[in-house]
Amino acid sequence: MAQVKRFYATGRRKASSARVYLYPLGDEAAGMVVNGKSLEEYFGSPKGGISTYAMKATRPLSITERSDKYRVVINVDGGGVSGQAQAIGHGIARALQTAEPELRTSLKQDGLLTRDPRVVERKKPGRHKARKRPQFSKR
């Protein structure tokens, strides 16, 4: 059995983690599969077009013009839809860098290789949320 060449990377954002596999195209068609579904099906837009989440996820491929050169298989879990889309984009950028090191400069300039460290601040005791205080009562 022939060994299939693939490139792997992990992307993260908020509470989401995406495992991304890039397969150079051979006989199969280009496309993206997210948790067993197509990208459009997973990030479905209510009006039927491409959603902003799908655009965020595929941004590294569109910037480097490599969307027709790879088949992408993604397993993503944790967090919400927005965090998952950004984790997928981060993972694809890192996998592209592994596959083609000369793309690093263009990916880095667009900030796609940097993991966004912002997460939700924890709730503090005596507060309604992380920073919101109870209403002040003079009497």
Q: Are 134 and 128 in contact (CB under 8 A)?
A: yes
Q: Which structural domains are found in the chain, ordered by start?
A: 7-109 (3.30.230.10)
* pLDDT tens per residue across all 139 residues of the chain: 567 789 999 999 999 999 999 999 876 777 899 999 999 899 987 776 678 999 999 999 999 999 889 999 999 999 999 999 999 999 999 999 999 999 999 999 999 999 999 999 999 999 999 999 999 999 8
- Which residue pairs, CB below 8 angstroms and at least 24 apart, start in 21-28? 21/72, 21/73, 21/74, 21/95, 22/70, 22/71, 22/72, 22/92, 22/95, 22/96, 22/98, 22/99, 23/70, 23/71, 23/72, 23/73, 24/69, 24/70, 24/99, 25/68, 25/69, 25/70, 25/71, 28/71
Q: Indicate the pTM of the whole model.
A: 0.89
pLDDT of residue 19: 97
